[in-house]
Amino acid sequence: MRFSFLFLAFLGILVLASVQAQTTFIPLWAKDGVFLDRLEIKAGTDNNLNLSTVKPYMRKAYVAVADSFRTLLNAGKNPAGLTKIDQYNLDRFQANNREFSRFSIENMPDWVMKKPLDKKGKHFFYAKSNAFEVNEKDFFLAVSPVVNFQFSRESNFDKTPFINTRGAIARGLIAKRIGFNFYLTDNQEQGPLQYRQFVTANRAVPGNGFWKNYRNGKGTDYFDARGSVSWNVTKYINMQFGYDKNFIGNGYRSLFLSDFSSNYLFLKFNTRIWKLNYTNIFMEMTPQLPNRRSDVLLNKKFASMHHLSFNAAKWLNVGLFESIIFGRKNSYELAYLNPVIFLRSIEGQIGSPDNANVGLDFKANFAKSFQVYGQFLLDELNVAEITKDRTWWGNKYGLQLGAKYLDVLGVSNLDLQVEWNRVRPFTYQHRDTVAAYTHYNQSLALPRGANIHEFIGILRWQPSPKLYFMGKGILVRQGLDSAGFNFGANPSSLYNRPPTGTRLYDYGYTQFRGTLLNMAIAQFNASYEVLENLFVDVSAMFRFYREDKKADINTSVISAGLRWNMFRREYDY
């Protein structure tokens, strides 16, 4: 039975069921994410905020929390110690998601333009947050343009790196029963050196996928299309069917599931009750692409992922993760549709042909200023082999440790985040490319794959309501494939011994074995919010790349741009 038919049949049954009041989702790239992160740490013990490991966030749940903070502030209480900038961001968050708020424009007049273009109809440029809005009893619709124009100067490059994006974003509610969101952009992009190298090596645009040449190789031309429909099956279970991305983790990177790869088709259940948040994601993806692209249907690969998040204490959240990546000649493995069973046991029952991973994560908030978080991913465990020799190739796991410090040294809204990621060789790889931890030739976890140490430091500062500064430093040390042999870095490589793979031997795989890479990235951004969600950006990026037995490659990029209702493009890989 084909996967698409299963989806449609399953959806049809659920649509006929009695649906409940539902939610839509805050985009992963929205500015609200940083604010909600601060709110969680400052609140420290809020049950709803601490259940935030799986992203994107559900608007309804987080707006309800924001409303409760607004009520306290209106009563002259501030138990979380929100700064003046936090209170401004709280107001903007409510305004940007006002269809779920208990507050309204009548008692929050600042949510409306001072001189609305459409005073009578209250549709066009009436609310600050949307270009067009309909807010009736059984229908809500918000539509806004998406724009990103950015031009750069890159050292040792005779062309002009640029981004040219136009499109639209929309979301809505139907009878408070069905929620939907939509995002579509047409993009022309000539990114910096690492972007161009990625496109050439992977035949895909980072974060997207299929592309065409723009003006005889002057850049890439591609669409970015996302959308989903969501509803509540019961009061506590939300269901989402869409084509987009998800993220599982509390850090800047994720060892479980990141938003680095292209969009994919998914069906997601989210059960949020008591101190639990349980997520099931069933995904349809694209395996390694053929060398020559043509107008033919690409093969499919699939994944089933479970994540259980539990507030073990008011200040401590722990999580369990498991995933299966597999292929079945464009059909789904029915056994993996079970949302509660341990996936590894099912894999064993059917012959262990697939790529199974399990993991643990945690985060702890304390002193209303600090959060410590981490992840542990286990790809394979053979106690006898590891006890015998820790350099065994199958000793595959990943570690993440990180910390966040708010209001550094008493400076309001100056936040520091530090993170360390370590992934052993061959983690994410498999005996065939279909079951590799990839989608559209891109990693589902760390952008650069495995056999890696990565240190990240991010300093964010919002000194005034509309001004944002960010400094980011990344240090990478990695063992790359060498002389055509697999040393465990690229998730798309096969971990078999020749002739079906390129792994040389069984033991001796210490961290960074292979061609040694040392890389450093320093990035500085400044943004000013001219109007709601309309930013003027300037940035500088310096990248130092040293690969053994090759000349160093050092580049610098200075950029300036204008973006509206869109994320800032990142090249930190």
Q: What is the mean pLDDT of residues 246-251?
A: 98
Output the six-digit token pair for 359: 């993991």
Q: What is the mean pLDDT of residues 217-238?
A: 92
Residue 105: pLDDT band (50, 70, 90) is: confident
Residue 273 reports pLDDT greater than 60: yes
Q: What is the mean pLDDT of residues 86-110?
A: 91
DSSP β-bridge partners for residue 232: 20, 238
- Chain mean position to CA 201: 22
User: Counting runs of H as helices and runs of E as strands, what totals does the chain give?
Assistant: 8, 24
Residue 15 reports pLDDT greater than 80: no
Residue 249 reports pLDDT greater than 90: yes
Residue with tokens 């509803």: 231
Residue 5: pLDDT band (50, 70, 90) is: very low
Residue 484: pLDDT band (50, 70, 90) is: confident
Instruction: Find, among 248, 255, 503, the residue nearest to 378 by Cα.
Output: 255
Instruction: Find, among 163, 287, 263, 161, the residue nearest to 555 by Cα.
Output: 161
- Between 3-12, 183-192, 278-287, 304-313, the lowest mean confidence (pLDDT) is in 3-12
DSSP β-bridge partners for residue 469: 461, 526
Asked if 141 contacts 133 with a C-beta cutoff of 8 angstroms, the reply is yes
pLDDT 10s digits, 165-187: 999 999 999 998 999 999 999 99
Residue 1: pLDDT band (50, 70, 90) is: very low
Residue 10: pLDDT band (50, 70, 90) is: low
Residue 87: pLDDT band (50, 70, 90) is: very high
Residue 552 reports pLDDT greater than 60: yes
**pTM score over 0.75:** yes
- Between 199-208, 327-336, 379-388, the lowest mean confidence (pLDDT) is in 327-336
Asked if 550 contacts 567 with a C-beta cutoff of 8 angstroms, the reply is no
What is the structure's pLDDT at 142? 96
Output the six-digit token pair for 480: 């790359």
Write down all domains in the chain, each with its CATH number in brackets.
3-103+136-564 (2.40.160.130)
Output the six-digit token pair for 195: 């972007």
Cα dist from 26 to 216, 246, 404, whole Å: 37, 11, 22
What is the structure's pLDDT at 16? 47
pLDDT 10s digits, 413-427: 999 999 999 999 999
Q: What is the DSSP string of 271-315?
A: EEETTEEEEEEEEEE--SPPSS--SSPPP-EEEEEEEEEEEEETT
- Between 313-322, 323-332, 339-348, the lowest mean confidence (pLDDT) is in 339-348
What is the structure's pLDDT at 569? 95
